[in-house]
Chain A
Amino acid sequence: EDKVVQSPLSLVVHEGDTVTLNCSYEVTNFRSLLWYKQEKKAPTFLFMLTSSGIEKKSGRLSSILDKKELFSILNITATQTGDSAVYLCALRTGTASKLTFGTGTRLQVTL
């Protein structure tokens, strides 16, 4: 059975801090690992990672995948209150491209 574990479950930081969110997995037929941000409604896509060691970057957010050790990290530098959200990690497997989600990390950024 495919398994995705995120840590920590929740995190409170001060604005300006740097945070690292973790995602480890055990899946068969790996195709890609995705990160989503969920505020009040729909999860919104952040990154898709398919190859080890290649960092994806978008502004203050970056992510990297290690397919040997079966984990990914999502880094957010100089956090802002607008970064407060649940961050979801998902594994895409098989030809039907189904997603298996972790339970998410709830990040709260305070002033």
Chain B
Amino acid sequence: NAGVTQTPKFQVLKTGQSMTLQCAQDMNHNSMYWYRQDPGMGLRLIYYSASEGTTDKGEVPNGYNVSRLNKREFSLRLESAAPSQTSVYFCASSPQGAGINQPQHFGDGTRLSIL
């Protein structure tokens, strides 16, 4: 009963280092999303993938790249980490298609600190 699995759970980086956050879902969902959550800001969409083979920018994409590796997996990459990217990162997935209106399901998050 895994749902959405994110790895790692915690990570500390130095400014300028690169890192990839991994996300996998086992619910056969078409759409996947990456959010960041900062104090007082709610969750903000970084990138999303409406279906396998497509990716699009969300509200705060600068400094990030994504890869939809297959239907199950959606990774988020920080090429050159900056202190402003210190945050909690959540991956989510949902079914997608004509007539489908279903909630997103979230992973437990990755707490990332950049020094």
Chain B residues 28-71 with CB under 8 Å of chain A are: 31, 33, 35, 40-45, 48, 50, 56, 58-59
Which residues of B sit under 8 angstroms from A44, Cβ to Cβ?
Answer: 106
B58 lies within 8 A of A98 (CB):
yes
Which residues of B sit under 8 angstroms from A96, Cβ to Cβ?
Answer: 31, 48, 50, 56, 96
A97 lies within 8 A of B109 (CB):
no
Max chain A Cβ within 10 angstroms of own Cβ: one of B33, B40, B106: B106
B45 lies within 8 A of A42 (CB):
no
Residue of A nearest to B40 (CB): A103
Contacts known (A42-B106, A43-B106, A96-B56); A101 close to B101, Cβ less than 8 A: no
A98 lies within 8 A of B33 (CB):
yes
- Number of A positions contacting B (CB below 8 A): 25
* Alpha-carbon gap, A34 to B108, bound state (A): 19
The reply to whether the CB of B25 lies closer than 8 angstroms to some CB of chain A is: no
A99 lies within 8 A of B104 (CB):
yes
Chain B residues 1-21 with CB under 8 Å of chain A are: 4
Identify which of B43, B50, B101, B105 contacts A92 (C-beta below 8 A). Answer: B101
B44 lies within 8 A of A101 (CB):
yes
**Contact digits for A76-111, partner B, Cβ 8 Å, 1 yes 0 no:** 000000000000101010011111111110000000
* Alpha-carbon gap, A45 to B33, bound state (A): 16
Residue of B nearest to A90 (CB): B43
Which residues of B sit under 8 angstroms from A41, Cβ to Cβ?
Answer: 108-109
Residue of A nearest to B9 (CB): A41
* Alpha-carbon gap, A99 to B42, bound state (A): 11
Q: A31-B101, A41-B109, A97-B31 are in contact. List 7 more A-B contacts (CB 8 A).
A: A48-B101, A92-B101, A99-B33, A99-B43, A101-B35, A101-B43, A103-B41
16 contacts between A and B (CB under 8 A): A31-B101, A41-B108, A42-B4, A43-B43, A44-B106, A45-B104, A90-B43, A96-B56, A97-B31, A97-B50, A97-B94, A97-B104, A98-B45, A99-B104, A101-B42, A101-B44
